[in-house]
Structure formats: C-alpha cells, structure tokens
Amino acid sequence: MESGDYAVAEQRCQALINDPNSAPLAVYYLGLIAERRGDDVAARRDYSLLSGTSFEPQGRRRVAAILYRQGERDAAVRVLNATRDADPDERIRSELAAADLLSVSGAADEAISRIDSAAKRSPGNSEIAYQRAVLLERAGRVDAAVAELESLHRARPLDASVTNALGYTLADHKRDLPRAEQLIRAALATQPDNPALLDSLGWVLYRRGQSAAAVAPLTRAFRLLHDGDIGAHWGEVLWAAGQKTEARAAWQRALTVDPDNALLGQTVRRFAPTLKAPKPPPALEPAPRTSV
C-alpha cells in the first residue's frame, strides 16, 4: 500500500480473506485500495462488511470520509456517532473524529464546541486536549493552540508526541524557532526512528533557513513512512535547496501513495502545478465476500 503497488497488495489481501483472524484487516485494506482507485461504491461495500468486527470503527470513519468527499457532510458526521453499546474510549474517538471532520469542512466553531462538550464529560483527558489544540490551530487561533499545547507539555513533559506537537506548531508559525528546535530534538532523542519527529526536525531546520541540512531528516522520514504531509515538506525543502528535479520526484512519489492529502495538494499547486497523481492500476477480479 505505502509503495503504491495496489495490485500486489490486493492479491495479498484476497489471499487472507478465508482466514478468520486476518479477514477483517484484509477487507479493510481492500476498501482502502478501492478508495485509492476511485471506486467508492466498492469501498463502502467492503467497509460495511466490517460491522461487528474490531475494524468496525475504522470502517465507519472511512465511510464518513467518502460521504464528506461526496459533499454529504451531515451524513458523514452521523456515521461517526458512536453506537449505543460503544465503550467510553470509542465514544471519545468518535467525538474526536466528528470534530475533526467538522473542522476540515470549515465548521471550526462547531468542531471546537463539540470538543469542549467532550472535555466536560471527560475532564483531564489529554487526548481531547491535544485534539482541541489541533482544531484551534487549524481555525487560525494559533495563540490559543500554543497555550493548550504549553499546558499539556507542562503536565506531560516526557510525552514525546506533545513535546513534538508544541515544537512543530511553533516552527510552522515561525515562532521562537530556537526553542522549537530544542523541543523537537528532545522528543527525537527518545524516538530517533519516529518519522513524524524526523519530519518536524527537517521542517524547523527549513524554517531556520537551513534547507540543505533539512533534506536528510526529511528524506529519512519519508523512507520510513510514505505520508503526504512528509512528502509535501520533503519536496518543498528540496526545492528551496535548489534540487528542483528531485523535489518534483519527491512530490510525485508522495502523490502516488497519498493523492488526497490536502497539504501535499496545496504544496504541489504552489510549486509544480503540472504534477498529477498517477492513475492507479485496474482492480483484480474481486473474490466473493459476503461476510467477515
């Protein structure tokens, strides 16, 4: 999947369909492959088969993403509502997913209101506080987002994800760049092979005007995780370093594996608008699937 070799991935998944332990995972990935190929009908069919399995929440989130992409925002939010028998953790994850969807659809106030309601029902929940910071930053309320992350960092100084999030947010908005780098390096020292942290290091070095030095951590980050955000940063840094051919190649690779990534799309339109995501190979003849 990460290398964009959907045909081989599909063969592997279909080979696992008859194994009860592996079938839900296989069907979930077959749904993802169908999405990548633009076949939303087949994707939703696969995700519907996950009902009652451990992959049901992931399947519902993907259905919501499809509905949102088709312009059915309200229906997408309804799909994300937790079921009556959902455990408390799944209810929180459903709230966070719905708030995130509302946020990306432009309903920032509604998204934050939903997060605030969740926080009242589950006071002190760090996952909710973290997502609130994400939504505040996305809504352009950077001061409030940084304040939320600073509070989280004080409460959880050894949490690498929080430390990195604070450092990255400061770097992305060109605030206190020396401290941003210090925070990111502190997080990276505890998880030196974490691609998200390597991405942050490359980005803060770029923000500090060190494009050449930023290339290595971003190259490694993308090698470890073929992610659209990382690919967007990697290409932009290569471009700034004068390696425009390599930048286009980096963006092309990222588009292959994450063609719908918003940041990647924005970055490519700014620097290389003629680049397009390659057309995925046709699907194999599907194996019959009536249940998981």
Residues 86 and 69 placed together within one structural domain of the fold: no
At residue 287, the pLDDT reads: 46
How confident is the chain (292 residues) per 10-residue block, as mean pLDDT?
82 91 93 91 95 88 90 88 78 87 86 91 90 94 97 96 97 98 98 97 98 97 94 98 96 89 94 80 52 54
For residue 140, give the nearest of 100, 184, 106 by alpha carbon.
Answer: 106
Angstrom distance (rounded) from CA 210 to CA 247:
16
3-class DSSP state of 165: helix
Are 88 and 62 members of one domain? no
From its phi and psi, is residue 235 left (phi > 0), alpha (psi between -120 and 50) or beta? Answer: alpha
Count structural domains, the chain: 3
Say yes or no: 201 and 89 in one domain. Answer: no
Domain boundary pick from 73, 99, 118: 73
Give SS3 for 67. helix
Host domain of residue 266: 157-277
Q: Are residues 124 and 32 located together in one domain of the fold? A: no
Kindly report the pTM of this predicted structure: 0.81
Q: Phi and psi of 253, rounded to 5°?
A: -65, -40
